[in-house]
Amino acid sequence: MSTIPTIDTRKAWLDELQVHTQSSLMKITEKEVTGKHVSPVELQYAKVCSAYLYLYKLAQDNEILSADDPDNPFDFEILH
């Protein structure tokens, strides 16, 4: 008897956001390194991205986002 695979949608959502913030941060960093103009808005966005990545890593390291967290507002979804 096999179990039905499920996914923690909160973790999936946060991981996807991590990928997008890393990508955005890399693009802004690349502009800066190559001497292209980086706007004040891009600099602010880079700070927000960096803060997210730092806090998400801290949450993972301290196991704050465990799958059995009773405060998790997301449901587990069945993988199809």
The whole-chain average pLDDT of the chain stands at 87
pTM (predicted TM-score): 0.76
The 10s digit of each residue's pLDDT in 28-50 is: 999 999 999 999 999 999 999 99
The amino acid sitting at 67 is: A
Instruction: Please classify residue 52 by burial: count the beta carbons closer than 10 Å to its beta carbon, then call 0-12 exposed, 13-18 middle and 19+ buried.
Output: middle
DSSP designation for 80:
-
How many other C-beta atoms can be found within 10 angstroms of the C-beta atom of residue 46? 19
How many other C-beta atoms can be found within 10 angstroms of the C-beta atom of residue 18? 16
Instruction: Please classify residue 9 by burial: count the beta carbons closer than 10 Å to its beta carbon, then call 0-12 exposed, 13-18 middle and 19+ buried.
Output: middle
Domain ranges of the chain: 9-66
pLDDT at 73: 67
Does the structure show a pLDDT above 90 at 4?
no
